[in-house]
């Protein structure tokens, strides 16, 4: 996305609101902050984490109030899907994405990753292939192996002119052709590139999947964090297509309202036969969702939209700050994300230009005090993923460090 000098800066409200005052997460078991605990950069400063996809912001008041109320109830016994869970989600999807689902097709799951693992066992056999666009969120790469299946990569193509990641249709067709590929795990909006696939792309993907009788499983955990109004999220299952009708979708409030630690997501499984097989496919390894996860998710879907819209304004601003910083870095490029709070940086030219053998962008960043995600984990060495979900001054400090690391 080109820099737009006319873009109005976010209001002071963004800086004075809950998005500025972030609690210190040290000592809370925060995965994001513990990775670099006790480590220092080359000048002795603490390394600021910009890796795993959770934000440092407080969750919205509506979520906190619902949690307080649930805690005040004071009984935390085994809990299955609460009476309002599926209906609240259905209303949210209808309002937000014009996607009408039947609430009886919703299955609460303790996490999308867990749900993806269930689909591998539900819809394929040992030795089968599970195809996906790469680079991709790491569990898409390692879960098939854990289930004795194979990952089949279909690399996305960077189109620098169009500022877009695009699908290689020939490669997709070839990948899905062998009869042993049973599933396509679609990540949309896409982590790490932030791509929002268009309705045309999704229909074409549906055609290919239908031709090869491959089931599409669509992870749409990022669907409520679309940054560009001109590229709306289209739920795969909302397409008028046979492949869509037999697909499975995952959604959650966790990314958008920053409640990933509460372990609550939803699978939408229109096929009754697959719904009946779901629990058995979990092999006794899938725990119930905890009651606080339900309470927080319902509140977020029901009342969290004003907070979400303010967050999107802030992330747009952060995206621009980060793109401006990257524009100053020779050998580093980035296709602007259309969704998510993630930035996917191509540092391969930077790497090739380094005189020192073994120079590595991840190490260079850590030495300069910034801890991004390493592209290797997503199947793309030479790339970095940067998480923009933090207070603006922290991001600005991180970007200064990035400039030092990769200048």
Ligand X SMILES: Cc1ncc(COP(=O)(O)O)c(C=O)c1O
The CA-based angle 244-112-362, given to 5 degrees, is 115
Residue whose C-alpha is closest to residue 187's, from 134, 129, 260, 266? 134
**Residue from the set 112, 364, 365, 386 that interacts with ligand X by CB under 6 A:** 112
Residue 322, interface with ligand X (CB under 6 A)? no
What does DSSP assign to residue 7? S
The CA-based angle 349-47-44, given to 5 degrees, is 105
Q: Which is nearer to ligand X, 111 or 129 (CB)?
A: 111
**Residue from the set 221, 251, 292, 314 that interacts with ligand X by CB under 6 A:** 221
Residue 131, interface with ligand X (CB under 6 A)? no
**Residue from the set 137, 301, 307, 383 that interacts with ligand X by CB under 6 A:** 137
Residue whose C-alpha is closest to residue 346's, from 132, 187, 159? 159
338 contact partners, CB below 8 Å, separation of at least 6: 189, 194, 195, 196, 226, 227, 228, 231
Residue 366, interface with ligand X (CB under 6 A)? no
**Cα–Cα distance, 393 to 399 (Å, whole number):** 10
Size of the site for ligand X (CB under 6 A): 13
- Residues 151-190 binding ligand X (CB under 6 A) are 187
Nearest distance in Å: CB 248, ligand X: 14
Residue 251, interface with ligand X (CB under 6 A)? no
| Residue, CB closest to ligand X | 111
**Residue from the set 41, 56, 219, 377 that interacts with ligand X by CB under 6 A:** 219
Tell me the β-bridge partners of 130.
151, 183
**Residue from the set 47, 53, 268, 326 that interacts with ligand X by CB under 6 A:** 53
**Cα–Cα distance, 22 to 33 (Å, whole number):** 13
**Residue from the set 49, 111, 135, 293 that interacts with ligand X by CB under 6 A:** 111
State yes or no: cis peptide before 135, omega within 30 of 0.
yes
Q: Which is nearer to ligand X, 251 or 274 (CB)?
A: 251
Residue 252, interface with ligand X (CB under 6 A)? yes
**DSSP per position, 194-219:** -----HHHHHHHHHHHHHTTPEEEEE
Residue 191, interface with ligand X (CB under 6 A)? yes
Residues within the interface to ligand X (CB under 6 A): 53, 111-113, 137, 187, 191, 219, 221, 252, 254, 260, 265
């Amino acid at each position: 996305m080109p820099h737009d000098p006319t873009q109005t800066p976010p209001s002071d409200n963004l800086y004075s609101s809950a998005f500025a005052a972030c609690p210190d997460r040290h000592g809370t078991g925060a995965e994001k902050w513990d990775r670099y605990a006790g480590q220092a950069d080359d000048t002795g400063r603490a390394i600021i984490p910009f890796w795993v996809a959770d934000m440092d912001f407080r969750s919205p008041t509506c979520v906190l109030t619902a949690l307080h109320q649930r805690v005040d109830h004071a009984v935390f016994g085994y809990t299955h899907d609460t009476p309002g869970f599926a209906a609240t989600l259905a209303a949210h999807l209808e309002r937000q994405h014009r996607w009408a689902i039947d609430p009886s097709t919703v299955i609460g799951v303790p996490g999308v990753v867990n749900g993806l693992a269930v689909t591998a066992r539900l819809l394929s056999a040992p030795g089968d292939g599970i195809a996906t666009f790469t680079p991709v969120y790491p569990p898409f790469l390692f879960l098939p192996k854990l289930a004795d299946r194979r990952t089949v990569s279909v690399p996305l193509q960077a189109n620098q002119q169009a500022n877009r990641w695009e699908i290689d249709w020939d490669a997709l067709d070839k990948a899905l052709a062998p009869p042993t590929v049973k599933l396509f795990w679609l990540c949309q909006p896409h982590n790490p590139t932030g791509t929002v696939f268009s309705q045309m792309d999704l229909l074409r993907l549906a055609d290919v999947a239908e031709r090869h009788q491959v089931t599409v499983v669509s992870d749409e955990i990022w669907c409520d964090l679309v940054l560009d109004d001109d590229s709306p999220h289209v739920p795969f299952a909302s397409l008028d297509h046979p492949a869509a009708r037999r697909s499975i979708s995952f959604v959650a409030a966790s990314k958008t309202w920053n409640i990933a630690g509460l372990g609550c997501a939803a699978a939408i499984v229109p096929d009754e036969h697959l719904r009946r097989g779901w629990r058995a496919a979990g092999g006794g390894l899938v725990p119930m969702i905890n009651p606080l996860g339900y309470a927080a998710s319902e509140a977020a879907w029901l009342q969290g939209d004003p907070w979400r819209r303010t967050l999107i304004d802030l992330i747009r601003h952060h995206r621009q700050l980060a793109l401006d910083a990257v524009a100053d870095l020779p050998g580093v490029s980035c296709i602007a994300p259309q969704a998510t709070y993630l930035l996917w940086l191509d540092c391969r030219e930077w790497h090739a230009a380094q005189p020192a053998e073994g120079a590595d962008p991840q190490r260079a960043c850590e030495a300069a005090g910034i801890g991004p995600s390493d592209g290797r984990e997503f199947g793309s060495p030479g790339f970095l993923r940067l998480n923009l979900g933090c207070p603006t001054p922290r991001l600005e400090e991180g970007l200064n460090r990035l400039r030092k690391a990769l200048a």
